[in-house]
Amino acid sequence: MASPRSSRRAQPSRLRDEQATAAGKRAAAEAAAELVAPGMRLGLGTGTTVAFLLPVLARRGVAGLVCVATSPATESAARELGLELRGLDEVGELDLAIDGADQVEPSGWLIKGGGAAHTREKIVAHAARRFVVIVSGDKVIERLSPPVPLELMRFGLGHTLRELHPARVREGVPLSPDGGVIADYFGPIGEPRSLAARLSATAGVVEHGLFAPEIVSEILIGEGDGVNRRAGARTDPLAGDRPAPALNEGGEAARRG
Ligand code: 5RP
């Protein structure tokens, strides 16, 4: 009979990678759950990483916690777990928002929207005093690469897609809950700030999935059982007692003075 060690070695590498990714997502989500305090108004992102967060929050039974979901999927999962949900305009400002990401660049730029919820996610991130991103280590890459998710107006869709060339509607994905068409931009990214400005300035673009470093308070990166913390460029009014390391030019975590 194979020893546990030799059977682990025989495991297909893809399966091992998937398990490592899931462990990283879980570790980051669990670390983020620790940031949630009684009475908070909390924004909940969308995706498989956030799916690890919801049951941890529900188990903790945080008194007076009120959540705002960024998608119908998150809303129904959270409701089933007994978390209290409200609309964003009902609660106004959020204390904290926690969400995943598809790509994280050393400079702190993110790509989001793999789950097509980037418009609501960006609004919720802006509405929160603190925005914490939770990812597995494989999401941290040297340079952002296409596609960049888009949400587009239905009116004049063909024209908007031509303006954005190369871009196309994402297959098999329904309209967003707000009636927008989910599409992706496949052109070069180059300098993310320039592309973000160009996408935002294109008529017919509701929102794009490039998130600037100054939206992000902190990035929790789950690797193995541990979590690395990196500061985003946003001033974090709640972090006071435990400053996260800032990113230096090379994207390594550097100590704040
Ligand atoms: C949804 C998102 C997600 O946060 C992003 O796609 C990451 O998803 P996952 O946690 O499943 O890897 O932006 O719009």
Confidence of residue 11 (pLDDT cuts 50, 70, 90): low
| Position 142 pLDDT exceeds 80 | yes
CA of 4 to the centre of ligand 1 (A): 33
Specify the 3-state DSSP secondary structure of 243.
coil
pLDDT at 172 (0 to 100): 97
Is 2 domain-assigned?
no
| Position 88 pLDDT exceeds 60 | yes
Is 7 domain-assigned?
no
Could you give the CA distance from residue 152 to residue 203 in angstroms, rounded to a whole number? Answer: 9
One-letter amino acid of 123: I
Phi, then psi, of 222 in degrees rounded to 5: -90, 120
Active site residue 121: yes
Residue with CA nearest ligand 1 atom 4: 100
| Position 246 pLDDT exceeds 50 | no
Is 212 domain-assigned?
yes
pLDDT at 252 (0 to 100): 40
Is 9 domain-assigned?
no
- Pocket test of ligand 1: the residue of 49, 52, 74, 132 to mutate, having most ligand atoms within 8 Å of its CB, is 49
| Position 236 pLDDT exceeds 80 | no
Is 257 domain-assigned?
no
- Mean pLDDT score across all residues of the chain: 90
Is 125 domain-assigned?
yes
Is 236 domain-assigned?
no
Residue 182 burial class via C-beta count within 10 angstroms: exposed 0-12, middle 13-18, buried 19 and up: buried
Q: What is the CATH number of the domain that holds 103?
A: 3.40.50.1360
CA-nearest of 119, 206, 209 to 160 is 206
Specify the 3-state DSSP secondary structure of 109.
coil
Is 231 domain-assigned?
no
Report how many domains make up the chain: 1
Q: How far is CA 101 from the centre of its chain?
A: 3
| Position 16 pLDDT exceeds 50 | yes
pLDDT digits (tens, 9 = 90+) for 188-216: 999 999 999 999 999 999 999 999 999 99
Find out whether 189 and 198 touch, Cβ atoms under 8 Å.
no
One-letter amino acid of 152: L
pLDDT at 192 (0 to 100): 98
| Domain region containing 182 | 18-224
Task: Point out the catalytic residue in the list 80, 90, 105, 121.
Answer: 121
Residue with CA nearest ligand 1 atom 6: 114
